[in-house]
A and B are shown apart, each in its own frame.
Chain A
Amino acid sequence: MNLKFHNKKITGILTVLPENEVNFDDEIDNYDFSRGQSMKLKLIMGYGKRRVVKEGTTVSDLCIFGMNHLFDNNLLKKDDIDALILVTQSPDYFVPATSHIIQGKLDLKQDMILLDINQACSGYPIGLNQAFMLLEQDEVNKVVVLNADIMSRKVSVKDRGSRPITGDAAAITIVEKNPSDNIIYGTVNVDGTGADALIIPAGGFKMPSTPKTAEFETDSSGNSRALDHLVMKGDVVFNFVQKEVPPMIENLLDKAGNIKDEVDYYMFHQPNKFMLKKLADKMGVPYSKMPNNVVENFGNSSGVSIPTCITYNLGEKLMTDSYLICLAGFGAGLSWASLLMEMGNLDFCETIDYDN
C-alpha cells in the first residue's frame, strides 16, 4: 500500500534511554558460548552494551520522563498537544490503554485524541502515518508520537539469540502541519501468515500465563525459554527482511521520483549489525548512509531503534541542517513500512537518560 501525505513535518525527536547499562562481556556466562564464538558474535552481530529498564520501570514511566523533560525545557506546551499516539507492544496494562495512563499522569487536556497502536519493529513509521492522518483534522495541529518498548522484560536470560541484542527505549516525536508545501511518501505492507516468526506465545487471552507457561524448555539450538518469553525464528526473519525490504525501498523511491543516491540517510530499524550490513549491500547503499551502530551501543529496542538511530547519529545536525531521510521498519506481524521525507531544522533532536 502506497501512502502520500501533504504539508506535514516532524519538528522534534527525543530519545529516552533507561539508565541501566548491561555489557555483553558480563553476561557471557549465562550462555553456552565458547570464547571464540563470543568474539565472533560481538564483531558480526554487534553484541555490546545495551540499555534495559530496572524491574518495575514501564513504558509509561519512560514516556512521562521524556515528556516532562520537554515541558521543563520549554520545548513543548501541554495545551498544544491535540493528539497523543503510543506505539508499543509492552503496555502497562491490557486495560486501560497506556496512552490514557500517560495523559492522566501528565495532566494533559481532555479535549484531545489518544490512541495506542500495537506494532513492533515497523511501529515508528506506522505511528507517524497515523499522526499525519490525524493532522488532516482542522482542530488537530500538533501530534505527539510516543514509541516505547521494554522487551528486555520478555526475553529469556538463557536465549543467546535474542537476549544479547534486546534493549529498551522510548522516543517522543512531535508532528505538525507544515505551512509550506511538501509531500511525504510512505508504504505499508503486512503478512499475518508469518505471525509466529516473532511471538510471545503466552500471556494474552489465547494462552494466559500460568506456572506451566513459565517453565523453561531448551530448543535444538541450546536456547532455553518459556512460553511467556519472546521467541524469534531468526532465519525466517532474516530471509523475510532481505526479500521484502529492498523492493519496498525501490518502490518508495520510485513513487517519490527520487533515486537511491539522493537520499542522505537510510535510518532503518536496528535488528543487528549483520542484517543491516546485508541490507545495505543488497540495496547498494554505502554503510555511511545506513548507520548500524544502535545495537552495539544501546540494544535493539524494536521500533524505537529508528528514532534512537536518528537522535544518536544526527543529533544537533538535524537542528540546523535538513536531509532527505528514508525510514524503514520491519518485523513482528509480519509487518514492514517505510517513509521518505525531508527532515531538518528541528526544535530538538537529542538523546537523554532516564533517571527516576
Chain B
Amino acid sequence: MENFIESIAEILEEETVELSDELESFEAWDSLTVLSIIAICDSEYNVPLSAEEIESSGTILGLKELIQSKM
C-alpha cells in the first residue's frame, strides 16, 4: 500500500493529506469520491468495499486499516 496516501490525495483533489484527516472534512467528499475509492480498492488492492464501510471508516487511517483488514 505504498502509494495509498498519494492515491487518496488525488481522489480528494488535495496536494497532500494526513492519515489523521477526517474523510468527511474534505471539500471534494461526495458520493462520487466514495465510488472512486471503491474503484481504486478493487483495481489496486482487489478489495471490494461498500459505500457504507467507507463512510463509516472515519479517517484516512481508518480507511487504510479497513482495506488492510480485507487484503
Contact = CB atoms under 8 A, between A and B. Distances in A.
Interface of A: 37, 40-41, 44-45, 161, 221, 234-236, 238-239, 242-243, 274, 278, 281-282
B39 A274 contact: yes
A44 B36 CA distance: 10
Given A281-B43, A282-B43, A37 B38 contact: no
A238 B35 contact: yes
Nearest to A41: B32
B39 A234 contact: no
A274 B48 contact: no
B26 to A, nearest CB: 13
A243 B38 CA distance: 12
B42 A242 contact: yes
A92 to B, nearest CB: 35
B18 to A, nearest CB: 23
Looking at chain B, what size class is its interface with the partner chain?
10 to 19
Interface string B15-53: 000000000000000111011001100110000111110
Contact of A161 (B31, B38, B50): B31
Contacts of A161: 31
A278 B34 CA distance: 15
A278 B39 contact: yes
A180 to B, nearest CB: 42
B59 to A, nearest CB: 19
Nearest to B32: A40
Contacts, number: 39
Instruction: Determine the main DSSP class of B at the interface with A.
Output: helix
B23 to A, nearest CB: 15
Given A234-B51, A235-B51, A221 B31 contact: yes
28 contacts: A41-B32, A45-B32, A161-B31, A221-B51, A234-B35, A234-B51, A235-B35, A235-B38, A235-B49, A235-B51, A235-B52, A236-B50, A238-B35, A238-B38, A238-B42, A239-B38, A239-B42, A239-B48, A239-B49, A242-B48, A243-B48, A274-B35, A274-B39, A278-B39, A278-B43, A281-B43, A282-B42, A282-B43
Nearest to A40: B32
A160 to B, nearest CB: 8
3 tightest A-B CB contacts, nearest first:
A239-B48, A235-B51, A242-B42
Given A37-B32, A234-B51, A235-B50, 6 more contacts: A37-B30, A221-B51, A235-B34, A239-B38, A239-B48, A282-B43
Contacts of A238: 35, 38-39, 42
Contacts of A243: 48
